[in-house]
Amino acid sequence: MPFNIADFNSEISRSGIASTSQFEAWILGGPGSRYGITGILEQYGLKEGMRLRIEAANMPGRQLVTLDQNYYGPVRRIPYRFNNQPVTLSVILSKDMREREIFMKWQDFFVGHYRTNVNRSNMAGMFDGKYFNDGVGSIDIVQYSYPNNNGGYGYYFESEGGTYEVQNVITLVEAYPVNVNDIQMSWNDEGYGKLQVEINYRYAIEDNTNFGSGKNYEIDRAGRGRY
């Protein structure tokens, strides 16, 4: 049948439209231990504030790797593995760029602490990395929306901007900052400083709270993340 505006409006009203601006990214675990990153964040006064400075993040994609099966006729491509698409965080920098220092310290767990050898002394083990499991962590990307009129059983919270509902929670497992990008400095730029950080991870766990799982998420607003 031809396009019907009434059917279109009904469908949009039924399931709504995703708002890509309603999200948070929580750094939950990191170098030192499962929750070791919280100590680094607290040291720089960003235990709660880092999520407010991550102004952009991409919801990760996935690419299947296939193997060609060419016995007879057209090639059949058989999926047997997957590749993750990296997640890029855009971080608003404080005046002392402490956010950059946090991610650089995270990388230090893998490549050593040569970076802090300001006296250029013979520092023992300054290029020594630690164990992989000591450096990786986890990051949650939480997508919100305004709740639908049909109710639902997801987690709601109130803010000054209104009532929001958790729709998707994606946890990046064994995550670490593989690329802390350079920061361009210019006398011609009067904007604010931003840092692009590319996150690698082994795999992602996805919980679509309103797709029938019945599991409610509660976010600890004090800064420890999701439980």
Q: Does 10 fall in a domain?
A: no
Is the predicted pLDDT of residue 132 greater than 70, yes or no? yes
Is the predicted pLDDT of residue 73 greater than 50, yes or no? yes
Site of tokens 């400075």: 53
Q: What is the distance between the alpha carbons of residues 48 and 27, in angstroms, rounded to a whole number?
A: 10
Q: Does 3 fall in a domain?
A: no
Average confidence score pLDDT of the chain: 80
Q: Does 134 fall in a domain?
A: yes
Q: Does 2 fall in a domain?
A: no
Is the predicted pLDDT of residue 45 greater than 90, yes or no? no
Helix or strand run (H / E) with residue 69: strand 62-69
Range of the domain at 119: 16-226
Helix (H, G, I), strand (E, B) or coil at 37: helix
Q: Per-residue pLDDT tens for 173-222? A: 999 999 999 998 888 888 889 999 999 999 999 887 655 443 444 554 44
Q: Does 11 fall in a domain?
A: no
Q: Per-residue pLDDT tens for 83-99? A: 999 999 999 999 999 99
Under 8 Å between Cβ of 172 and 192: no
Cross-strand bridge partners of residue 76: 69
Q: Does 4 fall in a domain?
A: no
Q: Does 8 fall in a domain?
A: no
Q: How would you class 189 by CB atoms within 10 Å of its CB: exposed for 0-12, middle for 13-18, buried for 19 or more?
A: exposed
pLDDT at site 154: 45
Q: Per-residue pLDDT tens for 9-28? A: 887 777 778 888 889 998 88
Number of structural domains in the chain: 1
- Predicted model pTM: 0.79
